[in-house]
Structure 1
Amino acid sequence: MDSYMDNLVRSFSQINKTLAGVIEANRGQGTGLYGMYNDAHFLSIKLLNHAVSMNKIFQSTDLIELDGLSLSFCDYSSIIALARSSIETYLVFFWLFISPKSISERNLTYLSWRLTGSNLRLKFSSLKDENDPVMAAEKTHNQELMRKIKRSAEWKRMSAGKRDSYLKRLKQNHGVRPQWNDLIVASELSNGFKYTYKFFCEHAHSGRTAVCQIYTSHNDIVAQRQMCGLPLKMVRFVIACLIIDYSKLFKPSAKWLSANEEHYQRALLHSDLAKIGLG
């Protein structure tokens, strides 16, 4: 690898360690099995798992052919897919726990997100026997979430027209979650994230760009690794943003970060760079 990629991979590994540190600092804090903060915790672990997997894939894979020929490659396409999911994971975390302007708004947003998941599970369960106990429990859970939404302070402040519109959006596959580009703007990530995210989607959807890049690099592991620079850099940015935001929610994590100056400065630097579009 060249010096740029060496430094980037080293920096990526370091920011992963910082995220692991703030998550570990919050271990065993009793957030509750189905609590809002428990979901915040495991969304963060989801992003960490993606990042660790990206790092592992980058190291290359040895494939043994039947004739004994050993091939080595870096699966750039998998790294792109993980990078896309990493950006989405951070944006959902931001939308649920950082963006709301009040506790009541956060409660409604969180309940609506959970209801969307329940609606999807019911769609998957539609092929089962309607008397299936798991399906019955999900229906009960779904109904209870809807009751909580309608009892919430934010719901009561809505006009009748806004309530009708909100109910229609709740039935969509992504529920009331804003579009990804709108969340990129709301989270104050740089405009570069809009174009990068679109590119990652094009690759994940097996567009022509994905095929061309694989064609031009399929016999060159150095070229494959160099193409990983963009996804590694963008995920490093969102990890840094998540570290700062996660520490706003969990006091043990904020305490750990303040006690580890090097980790704090690393997260602060890259979260700032994520918003001004440098790095």
Structure 2
Amino acid sequence: MNTEALNEILYSNPLQFYEMLLLGPLGDIYTARKETQLNEWQSYSNLLIDKFAIHSSTFFHISSGIIEHKKSGETRKLNGYDLFTVNTTIRVMIETYIAFNHLFVEPNSEEEKYFRFLLWELDGLFQEKKYDVELSDFDGVETVLASRDAKIDSKTEEIKNSDFIKEIPENELKKIFDSAKRKSDWKFLFENGRIRPLKIIELVKHCCKMRAFVNTYKHSSIHTHSNFPAIEEFKRLRGKLISKEYTDPITRLAIYLTCLFIYDICEIDKNAKKRLGEMPPEINDFIIGMSISIKKND
């Protein structure tokens, strides 16, 4: 398949292109990545790749229309389009990518990667601590809660003793880390000794660059939370055959996002990068060219 044929599929049948990208390049690159020896905290990068691959597969199948439409019959089979789940899934895919990129790709050193990872881990533990749990909920609840508190204390000490924390002025550190206030924010930029915390939408913009990603994330969040515009859109489209002009753009965005993920894996893994270089030139050029184009889009 040459470049011209590849582009023809991208614009005429993006779902077919996406299936090819998932079953071929993404799977091959991840297989190569797993040949690399990783320590325990670095192995979470592979879990994020796993998570993205599962969401991507789900996105492909629901975009294909796995729910039979009520107007489907024996002579004509029609598949409905679950716009709520499609939007929710692309949102989770974007969040998984930006976590992978911000934790394991963007930092300039292993020390900074580990520091961000510890903040990410502690942030998750603080989130779990917000659960409404009572001692009578189940047997052993006290042990579970005590174990979590011990882990919070352990991770807090690890952060305080990490190498990278020494590079951050104390007044700047408080913007992202304060154990007394249960603050542990892994979403930040650090330049010239200054910390700039990022909201989730700012991190999407920082990692994905294109307005299409930012707007899709905002739109999908509206669907996830069942806000009025989502229900209004559902009302307008319910029972109708949704055109490719509606569905194809979000599928192409999923393609671009997957290219970014593949490119980033190759940036941090020599085995994956070698495998990408062994792929047909048109595939290699598309993934690299598309990723670089997005990353340079300021």
Looking at structure 1, the residues matched to 37 and 167 of structure 2 have their Cα atoms a distance apart, in angstroms, of: 32
Gap regions ≥5 residues in structure 2:
1-8, 188-197
Looking at structure 1, the residues matched to 156 and 64 of structure 2 have their Cα atoms a distance apart, in angstroms, of: 46
For the Cα contact (< 8 Å) 2:177–2:185, is it kept in 1?
Answer: no
Give runs of aligned pairs for residues 1-279 of structure 1, distance below 5 A: 6-17=12-23, 18-27=25-34, 29-32=36-39, 35-63=40-68, 72-124=79-131, 126-128=133-135, 132-168=142-178, 171-172=182-183, 175-177=185-187, 178-187=198-207, 189-223=209-243, 226-261=245-280, 262-275=282-295
Say which SS state the counterpart of residue 106 (structure 1) adopts: helix
Looking at structure 1, the residues matched to 92 and 222 of structure 2 have their Cα atoms a distance apart, in angstroms, of: 13
Cα distance, 1:106 vs structure 2? 1.6
Change (3 A) 1:188 1:131: closer
Change (3 A) 1:128 1:248: farther
Cα distance, 1:241 vs structure 2? 0.6
State the one-letter code of the partner of 1:132. E
Matched residues, number: 269
Cα distance, 1:219 vs structure 2? 1.8
Looking at structure 2, the residues matched to 259 and 23 of structure 1 have their Cα atoms a distance apart, in angstroms, of: 14
Looking at structure 2, the residues matched to 248 and 216 of structure 1 have their Cα atoms a distance apart, in angstroms, of: 43
Say which SS state the counterpart of residue 101 (structure 1) adopts: coil
Cα distance, 1:103 vs structure 2? 2.4
Change (3 A) 1:10 1:133: same
RCO higher in 1 or 2 (8 Å CA, sep ≥ 6)?
A: 1
Cα distance, 1:94 vs structure 2? 1.1
| Sequence identity (%) | 18
Looking at structure 2, the residues matched to 272 and 160 of structure 1 have their Cα atoms a distance apart, in angstroms, of: 36
For the Cα contact (< 8 Å) 1:83–1:232, is it kept in 2?
Answer: no
Larger deviation, residues 49-58 vs 159-168: 159-168
Gap regions ≥5 residues in structure 1:
none
What is the CA deviation profile of residues 238-277 of structure 1, one whole-angstrom value per residue up to 9, with x for unaligned ones?
1111101111222222222111134422321332453467
Cα distance, 1:125 vs structure 2? 7.1
Cα distance, 1:71 vs structure 2? 7.3
More helix as a share of residues: 1
Looking at structure 2, the residues matched to 196 and 213 of structure 1 have their Cα atoms a distance apart, in angstroms, of: 15
Looking at structure 2, the residues matched to 156 and 4 of structure 1 have their Cα atoms a distance apart, in angstroms, of: 48
Looking at structure 1, the residues matched to 161 and 206 of structure 2 have their Cα atoms a distance apart, in angstroms, of: 27
Looking at structure 2, the residues matched to 131 and 197 of structure 1 have their Cα atoms a distance apart, in angstroms, of: 37
Cα distance, 1:140 vs structure 2? 1.9
Change (3 A) 1:115 1:43: same
What is the CA deviation profile of residues 21-68 of structure 1, one whole-angstrom value per residue up to 9, with x for unaligned ones?
211223364435xx2321111111111111110111122234598xx9
